[in-house]
Structure 1
């Protein structure tokens, strides 16, 4: 069975703190890691990249986003993505584990930044020319610090990353106001716990009440939280997570469509096919053929 590769940080740098932190000039990053980054893959870490030059597309969980100067992308662990460039890209990239960030900032939760609330939030913003110039200076600092050998190197890099996230969060909220009503930290925490449970149980459990019970809240309250943050229902998220997994299995494994419907907990393929077509406006077979190589 062909599986999508899950890349670890140490695959990119075998030197400094390689299992928890990485930063690079983007052109150098894709040149050195060409065999890794141009095919669909996923990570076990958080990633941020900012483009100063170049055009193309960035596909994240089967949604394509345009790349242009000023594009910024944020990826959560587990998201499938790859790049396709039509002109030479330039910029900066960094990634890190959850543990190293929250160890440095124990009073702060990474998921409280709006682009990390949920994998359902928009994973990109485009900066104006002046905003880009300001952010590039910070990213250059991160890259320069990463190359140095100095005491408190990790602490310095993480402090710069935190400042970068704060600045980008302010710009993100300003550019995506409909997705970023003021949300309590408690609501964000419950949403994250729900998504963790969903990742574990979605193949077998597709009722909102199951997840509400696991979270020790009512189904109505869980719906209220998800509606407040994402303007969706619990059932919407369960369905979307199931369909995302279906797409991943169709594209990245050799399982038959019948086997995929069984893996995802559907009693028969015909029912799975009807659900898939109703949600995506195409049959499972037509979707699979789009990505056939």
Structure 2
């Protein structure tokens, strides 16, 4: 008798995927770019190779934890054997924005433009996360009273534990900062958070930090694995997604609040960076969920 390897729950109203646990034993599911309207978490129990995400490349070994946001494209190139567990959940099943105070994984596991989307775990830490996954799989096979509430509780436990593990670690492949670099990079992150809604050019931040654009861009590519322009764009997209999902604001208003005078230019910018249009994002992910 073949063991069950996929456990799926669908939204009874939309018939779309709500939550899935999938055990994989090869790379077939991941060897071409994936872009989904739900969150994805990979627990790699065996294998090593290369991850491509956010226009950057990262090396991984066994016992790797990878986390991808809604519509975040990624592709994996393992060197040989590749086994583990994939978890998917739709924002309608569990919204990390609305539950931020309870779970605090937004900006740690997901939507962090400054750190890689993966960390290496110890074998005991991996076993701890897999034990929670096992409880989720058992619950998914028992559609009884309060099934949804218990599954959400297990998912919260998983996300909290994973967030703690990531906070405890330095980013994968992090290079040693020179003594004066951490201050510049911390200042850069603070500046982007303060001004990204109105200042979209790399030159503005270089001038603010009294450094050449070329030098600041080189630091960004070295430590954040992406250009300064890409960092700013990703920060704008994260906020745009949040506004599209949580509010009923017209796209034109969201564009204006993010510093775009032209709604159509904003829509092109969003599609180029998020793979889908703002309208399709709302259709497939959710609309005004923070107002319900």
1:139-150 equivalent positions in 2, closer than 5 A: 139-150=133-144
- How is 1:14-33 mapped onto 2 (pairs within 5 angstroms)? 16-17=10-11, 19=16, 21-27=18-24
Q: What's the offset of the Cα at 1:121? A: 2.3
Q: Is the 8 Å Cα contact of residues 7 and 137 (structure 2) preserved in structure 1?
A: no
- CA spacing shift, 1:119–1:97, aligned 2, 3 Å: farther
Partner residue of 1:206? 201
1:68 alignment counterpart: 61
CA distance in 2 between partners of 1:192 and 1:78 (Å): 25
Q: How many angstroms apart in 2 are the aligned matches of 1:243 and 1:137?
A: 34
Are 1:98 and 2:98 counterparts?
A: no
Asked if the contact 2:94/2:152 (under 8 Å) is kept, the reply is yes
- 1:92-127 Cα offsets, whole Å, 9 max, x none, are 221223343239848547554522252332211111
Within 5 Å, give how 1:34-53 maps onto structure 2: 34=28, 37-53=30-46
Cα distance in 2, alignment partners of residues 54 and 125 from structure 1: 14
Return the offset for 1:193: 11
- Contact 1:92/1:140, CA 8 A, preserved across alignment: no
Separation in structure 2 between the aligned mates of residue 102 and residue 114 of structure 1, nearest angstrom: 15
- 1:129 aligned to which of 123, 127, 144: 123
Partners of 1:241 and 1:74 lie apart in 2 by 21
TM-score, with structure 2 as normaliser: 0.53
Q: Does the CA contact (< 8 Å) of 1:23 and 1:142 recur in 2?
A: no
**CA–CA distance in 2 between the matches of 1:208 and 1:50?**
39
CA contact (8 A) 2:49 2:77 kept: yes
Residue 15 (structure 1) shift: 5.5
Work out which of the residue numbers 49, 61, 73 in structure 2 matches 1:56.
Answer: 49
Q: Which residue of 143, 149, 164 maps to 2:158?
A: 164
Tell me which of 71, 75, 90 is aligned to 1:82.
75
Q: Distance in 2 between matches of 1:63 and 1:114?
A: 18
Quickly say closer, same or farther: Cα 1:55–1:238, change in 2 above 3 A.
Answer: closer
| 2:202/2:228 contact within 8 Å kept | no
CA distance in 2, matches of 1:243, 1:112: 14
Task: Report the Cα distance in structure 2 between the residues aligned to 1:40 and 1:243, rounded to whole angstroms.
Answer: 18
Return the structure number with greater helix share: 1
Structure 1 unmatched runs, 5+: 1-11, 179-186, 210-218, 221-229, 245-262, 265-293
**Residues 265-280 of structure 1: matches in 2 within 5 Å?**
none
What is residue 216 of structure 2 aligned with on the other side?
none
Tell me if structure 1 keeps the 8 A contact 2:44–2:85: yes
Alpha-carbon distance in 1 for matches of 2:123, 2:55: 29
Q: State the superposition RMSD in angstroms.
A: 4.3
> TM-score normalized by structure 1?
0.52
Cα distance in 1 for partners of 2:195, 2:66 equals: 23
From the superposition, tell whether residues 127 and 237 of structure 1 become closer, same or farther in structure 2 (CA, over 3 Å): same
- Return closer, same or farther for 1:242/1:114 CA change in 2, 3 Å cut-off: closer
Unaligned runs of 5+ in 2: 1-5, 175-188, 210-219, 236-267, 270-292
- The residue aligned with 2:259 is none
Cα offset for 1:48? 1.0
